[in-house]
Amino acid sequence: MRKDNNTGLKISRRSLLKSCLAGASLAAIRPFSRASAFSGASALKNPPLIPPDATVVNGYCPFCQVRCTYHARVSSGRIVSITGNPRNRWTGGAMCPKGLSILELMNSKERLTEPMLRTERGWKTVTYAEAVALVAEKLITLKKEHGPKAGERLALTSPLWDCRESELAALMTMRVSGGVNIMPAGEVCISTTANVLSMLLGANTSTTTVDEITNARLLVLWGANLAETYPVYSRWLDKAKAGGTKIIYIDPRRTPTSLFADVQLQPEPGTDGVLALGTIRHILENGLYDAGMVGRTTTGLEALRKGASPWTAERVMEITRLGAEELGAFYADVAASERTVIWMGGSLCRFTNGVQTIRFIISLQGLTGNIIGSGRGLLTMEGGKPEGEKEFIDAVCGPASMPGVNFRRLLAAMKKGAIDLLFLNSSYRRYPDCDAVREAMKQCGFVVYRGFYRTDELEVADLFVPATYSPESSGSHYGAEKQVVWRDQAVEAPGSCVPDWRFYRDIGRLVAPEVYPDFRDPAELSELFNRTVDSWNGFSVEAMRKSPDGLVWPRPRTDSPILTGSIFSRGVLETEDGKLNFVLPTLGGFSWEYPRSSPHRPKAEKDFPLVLIQGKVVTQWQQTMTNFSPSLSRMARGRLVQVHPDTAAAFNLVHGDPVRLETVVGGLEARVDVTGNIRPGVVFTASHFVEGSPYAGTRSRALNSILPNNWDRVSAQFNGTGCRLVKVADSANIRVEREG
């Protein structure tokens, strides 16, 4: 049993892991523990016997940007084991349960393996060639009927593509068809951070790499629940701690990441911007900054001082509900540290005040001189997508005919029936008020869905074309450290499943054979890309294939030095004057307000007094396909709503009670998980369950179906809305692991 440093909570690692990570029985995969991150070899309860004739094929996990590389051992056309590549400097050979679940996902009996066309009498199986010809014909007709306006009537929602070449192939198909409405995977939930970084620093990605946290004196995990979202990176937290880095974790919930922290702050959700402003005020009021450095590297200091001045410690405590002692200690730690890395969690921009929150955190790092240099920087959960995509597509397919629209405008166009063809490569459940999005998609002329299983998306689809899992095709991908890794094909895909690069290439070649490049496989497309884009000239498939953890972008020449650490290699920011400007007209004043629909807002709806937040748990990544793994399902605990004992008492609830979680939009069934690990007045539930899951542990109505359709200037709101809990009659559909 360990007593928490600063909250007085008593918590054991076992109970925390049990409540946050896993159910009681795990068949094939054990939960993460701080002592040992997952490795393929250790994660299997009964390691398979590897036939002596097995060959090793190298690849990477497609799910998150840690981008773990692996060795797949293949015998008789089947993968018999996957183990992390021990020579990968970023992962040390570890993988997490999501990555290791890929064998179950590939071999699932639920997997759909043939294209299907919706007819008046239901779904009809068609051949892959028929499916491709049908889509190409629709695109050609669209062009004939609408000429240059055809592109407005076409849209594509991107998944987390399984390789870069798949994304390039799809974008080229859109370009040669005139399509401009492309919804990137992160637009809805993480693009606030990238946009604000771009505006303030001139680069839209993390400003350093994860290894630099070992050179920092202070690491602030600001809403970044690394142990669950990037489990393999927990090893870097251990390394940093061993080297003397102090770790402060800011999260309204205690999670497995709390086990790595020296200090945890649990502010009221959505008030992180206030905490940053208060810290800025403290530093400015007390002269705890290097005026010469700030003068040389920033502009607009007086405006920042004025903007932060209302945020006295008393006001910050009132809003964040942090105590005086913990707040004072945080101010002192940040002000005193000469080398600080702040890791900004994805949750920060899922509140409607996310733009200002990210802006204030970046400003804080600028004020303390912690944006550039060893042991300094800003890390994000979405890492850094290497550039060059637009340059390549413009060069190969010609420039876009017009600008595209954002998702909100696309939604309006779908509702009006103004979209004739939609490529649905991901879930409509990623959007708030997702049932309304589903109904809008039904107004599209024709919806092509690329998926794996019989999920809710089939309801809106007219044509289903089954996709492949990553070991079934080759290709490259990038990771959080801008490293680009290569994967060879390990096994054949079942039935008529095809990779995205092939599906979109085949359509593109039919629509515009004179323009669309005639590449045979991802290696040929990759080499064409490398030759075309200057910053990629030093890449080659052969070099990527040989590397255990990838080549770091940019690499203009084959002998370019490997860049890690600060991306600002010239020692200044990438803004026009090389400085951080605290005042940008596009960002407005230094105002702060509660997230939209928050129960704390003035004139808030009194019937929904609790704050609803969501997040990923260790068994989930964005792709809700992970719900189709029986092992991950056993680790999942069903739809739980985590609440503090005080909240449970106020609503007359006990642990395990069946409830309806309700917002102004609607409700869903869940069970109450009473725990001291969360702030009073806050409700947490996991993001990604799916109603069509074959397993009770991962089956639930989509959480986003009960979220209001709120957006800030960039992203949608997934956190901070008001909610309530209503006790309901018991139901066998709701599962929970009882304590004890």
Query: Which residues make up the interface to ligand SF4 (CB under 6 A)?
Result: 61, 63-64, 66-68, 95-96, 98-99, 230-232, 621
* Distance (Å, whole) CA 245 – CA 239: 9
Q: Provide φ and ψ at 653, rounded to 5°.
A: -120, 150
* Distance (Å, whole) CA 392 – CA 388: 6
H or E segment and range at residue 409: helix 407-415
Smallest separation, CB 65 to ligand SF4 (Å): 7
Smallest separation, CB 690 to ligand SF4 (Å): 18
H or E segment and range at residue 157: strand 154-157
* Distance (Å, whole) CA 6 – CA 248: 11
Pick between residue 161 and residue 392 the one whose CB is nearest to ligand SF4.
161
Smallest separation, CB 477 to ligand SF4 (Å): 10
Pick between residue 536 and residue 621 the one whose CB is nearest to ligand SF4.
621
Is 624 buried (19+), middle (13-18) or exposed (0-12) by CB count in 10 A? buried
Which amino acid belongs to residue 305?
R
Q: Both tokens of residue 379?
A: 């890390």
Distances in Å between the Cα of 608 and the Cα atoms of 246, 670, 682, 683 are 38, 17, 11, 11
Q: What is the DSSP letter of 32?
A: P
DSSP alpha helix (H) spans, 460-521: 500-511
Rounded to the nearest 5 degrees, what angle is found at the Cα of 734, between the Cα atoms of 252 and 270? 20
Pick between residue 98 and residue 359 the one whose CB is nearest to ligand SF4.
98
Cross-strand partners of 218: 246, 340
* Distance (Å, whole) CA 31 – CA 21: 7
Pick between residue 139 and residue 240 the one whose CB is nearest to ligand SF4.
240
Pick between residue 260 and residue 621 the one whose CB is nearest to ligand SF4.
621
Asked whether the CA dihedral 13, 14, 19, 22 is positive or negative, the reply is positive
Smallest separation, CB 357 to ligand SF4 (Å): 25
Pick between residue 382 and residue 712 the one whose CB is nearest to ligand SF4.
382
Smallest separation, CB 226 to ligand SF4 (Å): 10
Helix (H), strand (E), coil (C) string for 211-229: HHHHHCCEEEEECCCHHHH
Q: What is the DSSP letter of 728?
A: -
Pick between residue 70 and residue 249 the one whose CB is nearest to ligand SF4.
70
Q: Which residue is nearest to ligand SF4 (CB)?
A: 99
Smallest separation, CB 238 to ligand SF4 (Å): 15
Pick between residue 62 and residue 270 the one whose CB is nearest to ligand SF4.
62
Say if residues 161 and 385 touch (Cβ distance below 8 Å): no
Smallest separation, CB 383 to ligand SF4 (Å): 11
Pick between residue 64 and residue 367 the one whose CB is nearest to ligand SF4.
64
* Distance (Å, whole) CA 505 – CA 171: 10
Pick between residue 205 and residue 470 the one whose CB is nearest to ligand SF4.
470
Tell me how crowded residue 201 is: count the other CB atoms within 10 A of its CB.
24
Pick between residue 92 and residue 517 the one whose CB is nearest to ligand SF4.
92
Smallest separation, CB 362 to ligand SF4 (Å): 26
Smallest separation, CB 72 to ligand SF4 (Å): 13
Say if residues 516 and 140 touch (Cβ distance below 8 Å): no
Say if residues 710 and 186 touch (Cβ distance below 8 Å): no
Smallest separation, CB 84 to ligand SF4 (Å): 8
Smallest separation, CB 237 to ligand SF4 (Å): 14
